[in-house]
A and B are shown apart, each in its own frame.
Chain A
């Protein structure tokens, strides 16, 4: 709780499928209690970054420090205790189809519950009020006893969020947590996450496709592109030009002083076929 940094990444590199670098020398430091949004085009490495931070994926190179420790230097038991302090919200939460919503939410605290409590709760949910309260914040308390496969994509996403809220982690990670929600509900839901982080003084690190949500709820924005940090700035300093550059596509590049932006460094804009 009192670590000087919540997250510290140094030259973090993750190789996927052989030679492709999903993350390439990412440097990032986040203080406890900060709320940071990561934005960037599809395939920029946002999900990979979140998976590394959730200790679901081990980096190829560089160092990772989460809540003051290197998760891969710990023994299995200590890593399990560290993981109980980290909550990852998935874009498509992997809920068992036939499980009831209440059980899926209560599963958030399996990391801190003793085994007997977990097993008893499977037969008779032990903290129905707690699960209901988290769902109520997300407008979903009436689905407490539904089966997870009866939920729409947006409802499942919010059940996944409720699970992590119920977990009460010190580090909340969110991977596109509101991608299946309509704009109003998305705004409300990101607001709930931000308020939760603020109220409990915990760190929130979320990837978002909706840039307006990032700007509205997060004091600090990290732009990720091609596995690298394109910018890392307070929200006030983000302007339209930066966003255009972040999301610009090869071939549809805006120009800077008459030269194509950035991507031309790696390969020529014209394909060899055009010769």
Chain B
């Protein structure tokens, strides 16, 4: 037992050393005398935040853009997700199931930032690219979650309507959807929360919103302005956390 511990520790230490050597990191620099002062100076440059009225109104505009990007993207993703979830849950036979699962996996495994970089190339700089990027990735995530909800939903209400001669579409809307809707809404709200955070970052590749403002401020070394943008991001994420917790509690 003891020798295994020793070997494990030695292995980890060896890996850390090898990585640091490969990246040419100088651990000594982290603990050098001047480091703390330099760091303090860097942070100090961000304060006080720029709270002048024209810049605040720009931030308000950016905040709205971020919220709008995340909201539209999540809504599109929820619609797309349910449409792909139906075949993915096996409602149309095995072949469409396989194909739609592949699509969902592909969408899900490409990160938002990669999609955003691609969409900026395809659709140009701005919020449209950000919306598409978020919508594509989220469709993959929500589609997968919706498909699982559909598979786990009890089938008796639907069977009863099928046996009274209802068509497949009306069975879906009268029996299947009411069973999975609360779960789907909860998943969508949760993803919306994530998407707001993500929308704030997407701007770094030019996809609009607060992120783009942050990127511009940082590039121009306008640290106080960057600080205001970061505070605004913090504020909306906190607000959204609270709001969605409230919403979910009222839905339960």
Contact = CB atoms under 8 A, between A and B. Distances in A.
A14 B30 CA distance: 78
A259 interface: no
A103 to B, nearest CB: 7
Contacts of A122: 173-174
B18 interface: no
A187 B246 CA distance: 47
A81 interface: yes
A87 B160 CA distance: 9
A115 B163 CA distance: 17
A10 B182 CA distance: 46
Nearest to B155: A94
A86 B160 contact: no
A94 B167 contact: no
A56 interface: yes
Given A88-B160, A118-B170, A122-B173, A98 B182 contact: yes
A156 to B, nearest CB: 12
A111 B164 contact: yes
Given A94-B154, A94-B159, A108 B173 contact: no
A49 B167 CA distance: 24
Given A56-B159, A110-B170, A115-B169, A96 B164 contact: no
Q: How large is the interface on A (under 10, 10 to 19, 20 to 34, 35 or more residues)?
A: 20 to 34
Contact of B163 (A55, A98, A112, A119): A55
A84 B164 CA distance: 5
B19 to A, nearest CB: 53
Contacts, number: 79
Given A81-B165, A88-B163, A94-B159, A110 B181 contact: no
A87 B159 CA distance: 13
B162 interface: yes
Interface in B112-171: 154, 156-157, 159-167, 169-171
Given A110-B171, A118-B174, A122-B173, A94 B163 contact: no
Contacts of B165: 80-86, 110-112
A108 B161 CA distance: 8
Nearest to A113: B170
A54 B160 CA distance: 10
A46 interface: no
Interface of B: 154, 156-157, 159-167, 169-171, 173-175, 178-179, 181-182
Interface of A: 54-56, 80-88, 90, 93-99, 103, 107-108, 110-113, 115, 118-119, 122, 164, 167, 169
